Amino acid sequence: MKKRAWYALLVLPFIGTLFPQIYNRAEPALFGIPFFYWYQLAWVIVTSLLLGIVVIATRRRDDV
């Protein structure tokens, strides 16, 4: 996979939060937290993981 193709993964969090109509509701709640909040928090965690993957995948060998 080319280096630039890895950056396409960073579009996923943007798309996942682009349309609030999808997640603008209270149910299903998770540990008493409404869906609206835990959905967005989940994207923060997923975005961190994706960013780590992209950094590792696009890092040059001589930068190590």
Q: How far apart are CA 54 and CA 5, in angstroms?
A: 9
Give me the residue label for tokens 């965690």.
45
Task: Quickly state the pLDDT bin for 62 (edges 50, 70, 90).
Answer: low
Task: Quickly state the pLDDT bin for 63 (edges 50, 70, 90).
Answer: low
Q: Which neighbouring-strand residues pair with 33?
A: 30
pTM value?
0.80
Residue 30: which residues within 8 A CB-CB, separation 6 or more? Answer: 38
Predicted confidence (pLDDT) per residue in 26-55, tens digit = 899 889 999 999 999 999 999 999 999 999
Task: Quickly state the pLDDT bin for 25 (edges 50, 70, 90).
Answer: confident
Report how far apart, in Å, the C-alpha atoms of 61 and of each of 7, 36, 56 are: 18, 41, 10
